[in-house]
Amino acid sequence: MSDWLESRTGLRAALGSLLGRVHSARSWAPALGHVAGFLFLLQCATGVLLALYYRPAFDGAHASVERIVSEVRFGWLVRSIHVWGTHLLLATTLAHLAARFVTGSHRAPRELVWLSGVALLAALLGSAFTGQVLPLDQEGLQGALIAASEAGPAAEIVKGGPRLSDATVSRFFTAHVVIFPAIAALAIALHVALVAKHRLAGEEGAPPGSPHRATLATLGAAMALAILAFALPAGIGPKGDPSLSVGGVKPLWIFLPLYQAMKGGWTGTFLLIGLPAALVALPFVDRGRNRLPILLLGFALMAGLLVLGLLGAMDGTAAAAAASGR
């Protein structure tokens, strides 16, 4: 049967050649990208399933997520995979980015590989952020309000009106389901095509890659995801109340450094503009033979972000402890 398909589409030959050029038999690192790609596809699949039940309305959204979590058969499982998939996808993407930085895979002539990856990261972050708003629990509402306030003069575009309403939900839903995934898909296509091109040209004498490492890594990720989804299934908190400003409401962990930096006013804007600028500028700045300064700078930046993130994670507990002691 696969011969029937092969003679009509040439799929096996094309895939084999592509995978052979993308993967290297030498190291595990490229498997990370493959795992991220698999997780992205899984997010799309579970996302479609969730969208069959989600109601993009200001009043109905939370109830529809409650229904998915409690009433729909295996709804809790689909949602838990989608939630844990977000965490794993973002973590894998960051690890992949860090690994690529260390190995210098962003240097000429691979600048566009790196830049398409940065665009992909931005799209994934956008998707994650808008996705967290959709259940309209307290975190969700807070996220929408923060996005609107950060947008400054464009706040009405974010909110779809003067206040949070059905229009806001429609916009966040469309962004999460169509806009950001489409950008991500294009970025992935560009990224993989460029990697294939450069791998063929770059590694002379390297044996043709085999996809086994990537397959193993993917299977491992799938198993880890399944275990997480079953062990720690995602529920949903109470409906968000826009009139409350509840303390200790945090965004996704990946946004914690920004959350912490925003408390300092200018530091927040600095991070929001500076970090993407640094990522985009990297291939053009890192040209010299001596990579040490850039590497050290990179590690310092990563450490700084980690510290900011931990501070952001901890602040609520400190404030809560102080409040209860009072």
Partner 1 sequence: MELLLLLLLQDVDGFGRADRDAACLDCHQESGEELRGSVHEATGCVGCHGVDEVRRGQVRGNPHRRIAEFRSWKGRNLTDDCGSCHAGPLEALKGSEHYVDTRSPAESMKRGCIECHGYHGVRDSARSSIAKECRRCHEPGSRDLDWGEAAFGRMDDLERTLLRCEEKLAELRGRPGIATADVRAAAGAARRSLAEMATAQHGLDFIRLEAAARQGNETLAAAYNPLAAREREFARRWLLLAPFLLFAGAAAALVGARAARDRKDSGA
Partner 2 sequence: MDRRRFLDAMMWTSVAGAAFSAIAPVPFFLVPPPGPPGLRRFRLDPLAAGAARKIDAGDRLLIAVNDGGLRIFDAACTHQDCPVDWNAGRFVCHCHGAEFDRDGRPVKGPAKLPLARLSFREEGGEIVLE
Cα separations in angstroms, 48 against 36, 41, 52, 57, 176: 18, 11, 7, 17, 11
Return the bridge partners of 239, or none: 137
Our CB check for partner 2 shows the closer of 76 and 101 to be 76
User: Is the Cβ–Cβ distance between 85 and 218 less than 8 Å?
Assistant: no
224 binds partner 2 (CB under 8 A): no
Q: Which stretch binds partner 2 (CB under 8 A): 68-76, 136-144, 180-188, 250-258?
A: 68-76
Our CB check for partner 1 shows the closer of 144 and 236 to be 236
In the complex, the smallest distance separating the C-beta of residue 67 from partner 2, rounded to whole angstroms, is 7
Our CB check for partner 2 shows the closer of 23 and 79 to be 79
CA distance 208 to 17: 9
73 binds partner 2 (CB under 8 A): yes
Long-range CB contacts (within 8 A, 24+) of 237-241: 237/137, 237/138, 237/139, 238/137, 238/138, 239/62, 239/63, 239/136, 239/137, 240/62, 240/136, 240/137, 240/138, 240/139, 240/140, 240/141, 240/142, 241/138, 241/141
234 binds partner 2 (CB under 8 A): no
Task: Please count the residues of this chain forming the interface with partner 2, following the rule CB under 8 A.
Answer: 14
272 binds partner 2 (CB under 8 A): no
List residues binding partner 1 (CB under 8 A). Answer: 25, 66-67, 69-71, 76-77, 79-80, 207, 210, 212-213, 215-216, 219-220, 222-223, 226-227, 230, 233-238
- CA 64 to chain centroid, in Å, comes to 24
Our CB check for partner 1 shows the closer of 212 and 287 to be 212
Q: Which stretch binds partner 2 (CB under 8 A): 17-25, 72-80, 298-306, 311-319?
A: 72-80
In the list partner 2, partner 1, none, the entry touching 17 (Cβ below 5 to 8 angstroms by class) is none
Hey, CA dihedral for 195, 197, 203, 205, is it positive or negative?
Answer: positive
11 binds partner 2 (CB under 8 A): no
71 binds partner 2 (CB under 8 A): yes
